[in-house]
């Protein structure tokens, strides 16, 4: 058997074990597993359509279908996700939130005010930087 068939057999195991071992039931369990396998690969937003189609073919009433889905289909889809996570490239809700998002820049810390760049300069004298402004209005300006 090929790798896919092996994987499908492993996947079908709970359903196969639920049969009485007769070829008919084994076959039924296998086709059901195949169905669930394929359903699990259908994007979730399209799964309802696929299920509706299955339901109309299977001739189940609403109640039977709800029960069948709860007892067989949903657990088998979860089993598929657990067994073949690589086939599910979807984002698991919550996984994204748990992971630190792209590095948020740390809030800007107020820069410590640099000390007087020219200590001892007369505040009314021309600035030593050569700008022509008085020192108190230039490099000595408070709050720079």
Cα(138)–Cα(129) distance, integer angstroms: 9
* Min dist. Cβ of residue 122 to Zn ion (A): 13
CB of 138 to Zn ion, least distance (A): 3
- Asked whether position 137 contacts Zn ion by CB under 5 A, the answer is no
Tell the smallest beta-carbon distance from residue 113 to Zn ion (Å).
Answer: 16
Site string for Zn ion, 72-111 (x = CB under 5 A): ----------------------------------------
Q: Is 125 in the site for Zn ion (CB under 5 A)?
A: no
**Binding-site ranges for Zn ion (CB under 5 A):** 127, 129, 131, 138-139
């Amino acid at each position: 058997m090929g790798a896919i068939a092996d994987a499908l057999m492993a996947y079908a195991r709970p359903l196969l074990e639920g049969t009485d071992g007769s070829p008919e039931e084994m076959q039924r369990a296998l086709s059901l597993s195949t169905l669930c396998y394929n359903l699990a690969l259908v994007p979730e937003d399209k799964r309802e359509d696929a299920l509706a189609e299955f339901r109309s073919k299977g001739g189940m009433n609403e109640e039977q279908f709800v029960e069948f889905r709860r007892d067989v289909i949903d657990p088998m889809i979860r089993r598929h996700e657990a067994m073949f996570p690589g086939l599910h490239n979807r984002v698991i809700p919550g996984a994204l939130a748990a992971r630190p998002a792209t590095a948020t820049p740390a809030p800007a810390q107020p820069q410590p005010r640099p000390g007087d760049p020219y200590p001892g300069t007369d505040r009314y004298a021309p600035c030593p930087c050569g700008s022509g402004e008085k020192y108190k209005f230039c490099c000595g300006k408070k709050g720079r």
